[in-house]
Amino acid sequence: MNKTNENIKKCHKCLIKSNAANKLNFTELDELDESCVQVTFKASEIIFKQGALSSNIIYLSSGLVKIVIDGPNREQILKVIKAPCYLGIPTTVGDKINHYSAIALEKTTACFVDVSTFKNFIKLNSDFAYEVILDLCKNELDQFQRCVNLVQLQMHGRMAKQLLFFANEIYCSDEFELPLNRNDFANLLCSSREIVSKILSEFNNEGIISLNGKKIKILDKEKLQFIYQNG
Amino acid sequence: MNKTNENIKKCHKCLIKSNAANKLNFTELDELDESCVQVTFKASEIIFKQGALSSNIIYLSSGLVKIVIDGPNREQILKVIKAPCYLGIPTTVGDKINHYSAIALEKTTACFVDVSTFKNFIKLNSDFAYEVILDLCKNELDQFQRCVNLVQLQMHGRMAKQLLFFANEIYCSDEFELPLNRNDFANLLCSSREIVSKILSEFNNEGIISLNGKKIKILDKEKLQFIYQNG
DNA sequence: CATAAAATGTGAAACATTTCACATTTTTAT
DNA sequence: ATAAAAATGTGAAATGTTTCACATTTTATG
């Protein structure tokens, strides 16, 4: 029955699985398959919006997403996350209201899983539950680190850190195209559009990066590392 | 057998239970009781230290604790938490290394639960697991909010917010004694000792609070709320 | 109780960032 | 292709915060 790829069910096929989904057995994967809808988003499309009700857990199988929250003074980008990962567990599991928005930064494939199915897996498969707990724990520690960096580093340090993050964690290359415009980049670094422009120009003039619009090539990684650790 | 209070086992007696522990049955509470050690900390004593290995989940049954992380430039107080609550799940469940320190701000009673017992409960009691997940989710959303406030509000707003937090959430009274000295208060608000002094004096002179060393009485809550929402 | 040590208060200078203004470039829509 | 709209770059002034210096108060210790 499963001889050709086409006959393999969606969730069995979706090979880039989370640690949690890896703990599911075939019957459970079938069940996931039944209650799961896959949607593809284009860049800049809203996956879910702050304030709206939510009844799905979302698993990103491919793509890049920004997590945005309306702050008292401006929009803040809490983080940029890359598939494969879960999205919106805290929101959906808690009070059902999205406390932030998720917006695609590039073509992104998302699986919407009904929260009751998700809860059922937690109930019936303790390995799955434990992996979800691990995932949430990791997110919490990461968020602490981001917060400390935002608050304690000056802009040059934050910029250096973020460029290294894009190169090392997101694109796995020293050459990449920024997925954000200057304004969004400022909202991610918690600064202003103007400062972002100025510092990028500065880094460019000093030969730390080469800059051409959104195209960035990191030329001196050690220097960036130094700026991050001393600014 | 359980006629007098003294005969009731520790974890059955520890009535201020977490939502998670409420899902445990009597047998499980007995098991928790066996593998759980209760310790009392005096103010300023370290409950666990950043960098050290950890193999316990901690449940605070009474007291007040500060969560401290060594930042690149200074020590940062991530949050002040009040019993009853869990402590250190992300740390213990993840890589076993404490990513922050926990220090008692007043007499605090903490139950150290072996992580294998904890994992066992997650495995065997899905309601327990789900409550733990809920708890972690709530923490994540709270942390987002704290981070946004820290980054987007100016010092007057952050100070107003923190005073309201102490009054409303921690002490449930408009009159309280700060559990932190000026330096720690600065580390919590991510500012300097001097600014904290100046703003507290200012609030005092303007009749928003009455200030006497660490003793604070909030006189004009509406004004604080206004400063928080506009600063 | 006396003395040292730690914590706190406060003005002035130094600093980083934000805001403003406006020129320029790039993108979008017709 | 061309006009309109959006995004970007950059200097200068305004602002908020940090740092420094030092006086004062409070707390700890013998």
pLDDT in tens, A114-166: 888 988 999 899 999 999 998 899 999 999 999 999 999 999 999 999 999 99
3-state secondary structure of B219: coil
Structure tokens at A26: 């075939």
Closest nucleotide (C1' vs CA) to B184 is C7
Fold assignment, B5-150: Jelly Rolls (2.60.120)
Q: Average per-residue pLDDT in chain A?
A: 91
Interface check for B211 against chain A (CB to CB < 8 A): the answer is: no
The tens digit of pLDDT for each residue in B38-59 reads: 999 999 999 999 999 988 999 9
Class of domain A151-230: mainly alpha
Q: What ipTM did this prediction achieve?
A: 0.91
Judging contacts by C-beta atoms under 8 Å, the chain A residues touching residue B89 are 133, 137
Residue of B nearest to A70 (CA): B148
CA dist list (Å): B133 to A69, B9, B84, B140, B144: 22, 27, 17, 11, 17
Q: Say how far apart CA A132 and CA B93 lie, in whole Å.
A: 11
For the beta carbon of residue B1, count every other beta carbon within 10 angstroms.
5
The tens digit of pLDDT for each residue in A155-197 reads: 999 999 999 999 999 999 999 999 999 999 999 999 999 999 9
Residue ranges of domains in chain A: 5-127, 151-230
Q: Say how far apart CA A186 and CA A180 lie, in whole Å.
A: 9
Q: Say how far apart CA B206 and CA A28 lie, in whole Å.
A: 63
C1' of C27 to CA of A180 (Å):
15
A5: pLDDT strictly greater than 70: no
Under CATH, which number does the domain B153-230 receive? Answer: 1.10.10.10
Cis-peptide, bond into residue B84, ω within 30° of zero: yes
Where on the phi/psi map is residue A20: left (φ > 0), alpha (ψ -120 to 50), or beta?
alpha
Interface check for A74 against chain B (CB to CB < 8 A): the answer is: yes
Interface check for A69 against chain B (CB to CB < 8 A): the answer is: yes
DSSP per-residue letters across A65-92: EEEEEE-SSSEEEEEEEESSEEE-HHHH
Residue whose C-alpha is closest to residue B72's, from A49, A38, A154: A154
Tell the CATH superfamily of the A5-127 domain: Jelly Rolls (2.60.120.10)
A30: pLDDT strictly greater than 80: yes
Low-confidence ranges of chain B (pLDDT < 50): 1-3
Confidence category of residue A1, pLDDT binned at 50, 70, 90: very low
At B189 the pLDDT is: 98
Angstroms from B2 CA to nearest CA on chain A: 32
Bases of chain C below 7 A from a protein C-beta are 7-12, 16-21, 26-27
